[in-house]
Amino acid sequence: MGVVGINDIRTGMAIEKEDTLYWVVEADHVKPGKGKAFCRVTLKNVDTGRTVKKTYKQSDKINEVRLELRKAQYLYENNDLYYFMNTRTYEQVPLSENMVEDIKDFLKEQMEVELLMYGEKPLGVKLPTFVNLKITDTKPAVKGDTVSNATKEAKLETGLKVKVPLFIERGEVVKVDTRSGEYVERVNT
């Protein structure tokens, strides 16, 4: 754990405040013309999933938590618990739904991910940048529907809905960007 100033606060970092771990969901650095700089942050409680807004002044010090990444494989979901297997020790690690709520629509059984660990406590999951998912439902293309950059909605095997080009059909596999949730390209299988 290290102490950092407000200029070092960034989205995605973990901090400890009053013996509770938080994710920085959003960090807005403000440097007014007059007066001292400050940072408005939105923090998400790692255990409860609740968010809180906080403003830090230039003189404030923040306890940054150093996290370790461990390779894991997503196994399955059962009763709002998502199970991952540490690929080095084969230990199963359950995560609550609020720990994976932002990424659960990208999770596919047997997918390789990285667990974010604080000591032996799992805090979340880091996904690969792109995932390949199969389309389970979409409307068929209509002949003559050739507006440039026209898209339609498609439902993927995980339940995620994305906009895809008109030529994409049910049963095809597409690459999706996990950062934005957007279609990237069709994958030849």
**Per-residue model confidence (pLDDT) at position 128:** 92
HEC letters along 113-147: EEEEEECCEEEEEECCCEEEEEEEEECCCCCCCCC
**Per-residue model confidence (pLDDT) at position 76:** 95
**Per-residue model confidence (pLDDT) at position 42:** 92
pTM of the model: 0.73
Token duo for residue 105: 């629509």
Provide CATH 2.40.50.140 ranges for the chain: 68-126, 130-187
The CATH architecture assigned to 68-126 reads: Beta Barrel (2.40)
Residue 154 in 3-state DSSP? Answer: strand
**Per-residue model confidence (pLDDT) at position 146:** 60
CA distances from 123 to 1, 13, 15 (A): 15, 12, 12
Q: CB–CB of 133/185 below 8 Å? A: no
What does the radius of gyration of the chain's CA atoms come to, in whole angstroms? 20
Q: CB–CB of 136/156 below 8 Å? A: yes
**Per-residue model confidence (pLDDT) at position 11:** 84
Token duo for residue 90: 């084969």
**Per-residue model confidence (pLDDT) at position 90:** 94
HEC letters along 46-115: CCCCCEEEEEEECCCCEEEECCEEEEEEEEEEECCEEEEEECCCCCEEEEEHHHHCCCHHHCCCCCEEEE
AA identity, residue 138: T
C-alpha span between 37 and 55 (Å, rounded): 11
Q: Of 158, 12, 76, 83, give the one whose Cα is nearest residue 181.
A: 158
Q: Of 61, 53, 50, 76, give the one whose Cα is nearest residue 6.
A: 61
Provide CATH 2.30.30.30 ranges for the chain: 2-65
For the domain 130-187, what is the CATH code? 2.40.50.140
Q: Report the chain (189 residues): mean pLDDT per 10 consecutive residues.
A: 81 85 87 86 84 89 87 94 94 89 91 90 88 92 65 93 91 93 89
The CATH architecture assigned to 2-65 reads: Roll (2.30)
Q: CB–CB of 139/82 below 8 Å? A: no
